[in-house]
Amino acid sequence: MSEFINELREKLIVYNLSENYVFYVDDNILKYEFTPQFPQEPYTLAWIRFNFNINKVVETLKNALNYDDNARYYYIMCDNALVLLITAFEAYLVNNYNKIRTNSGKTEIDPKLLRFQSKDDLKEKYKEVNIDIAHLGDKLWERIFASGENERGLIKLRNVVVHSGWDNFQNKSDMIDHIFVEEAIITIIKFIKIVDKTVIMKFPNLNNLSRAS
């Protein structure tokens, strides 16, 4: 199954997502250096943090595949990968929203008060900074936030895993396997990439590549 992970990482490189990190401790603080791979594109600081979190998702998925002969462990790890993915999604949106606010001379909002897993809250807050986030990638938005009874929206499934874990684990008709998680990863990345480009276009000084490293 290592071939599956290698192919996934090759797909991530296309979106300027890298696994190249060097961790070190400086003054009793854990730090890291980040080296993005080809293609080199403008990106925000929030994108770097998103990159880090996506690597956590991939490593969790890798662990699932290492135990694909153990159904219990395999499905727990796949569920965990989905939870980490949606957490990465929300963290990116919170980080960029607050960067836009401070860029405009406003104060940051406590991340605990920003409920960006709610599409209504997300749309409202991003409209405040002149970004119509719900229409940046319509089909991707629907895939992420679909909530109908027979729909398998990514946010909805994450909530099922977290709040109804036992029922979800008993009945795997809503199968969350490594193939599903890979599709979810690519969907989230495509959407976030559109958001990142839009933010840089509207707020060019948030482009991390324009800063001295």
On whether residue 35 sits in a domain, the answer given is no
On whether residue 182 sits in a domain, the answer given is yes
Q: Give the pLDDT mean for 92-107.
A: 94
On whether residue 92 sits in a domain, the answer given is yes
**Total tally of structural domains belonging to the chain:** 1
Indicate whether 179 pLDDT > 70.
yes
Query: Do residues 58 and 5 make contact, with C-beta atoms less than 8 angstroms apart?
Result: yes
Closest CA to 128 of 106, 95, 161: 106
On whether residue 113 sits in a domain, the answer given is yes
On whether residue 32 sits in a domain, the answer given is no
On whether residue 79 sits in a domain, the answer given is yes
On whether residue 30 sits in a domain, the answer given is no
| Domain range for 182 | 45-210
On whether residue 81 sits in a domain, the answer given is yes
Indicate whether 6 pLDDT > 60.
yes
Q: How far apart are CA 4 and CA 140, in angstroms?
A: 23
Indicate whether 130 pLDDT > 80.
yes
Which pLDDT score is estimated for 20?
62
The tens digit of pLDDT for each residue in 110-125 reads 988 999 989 999 999 9
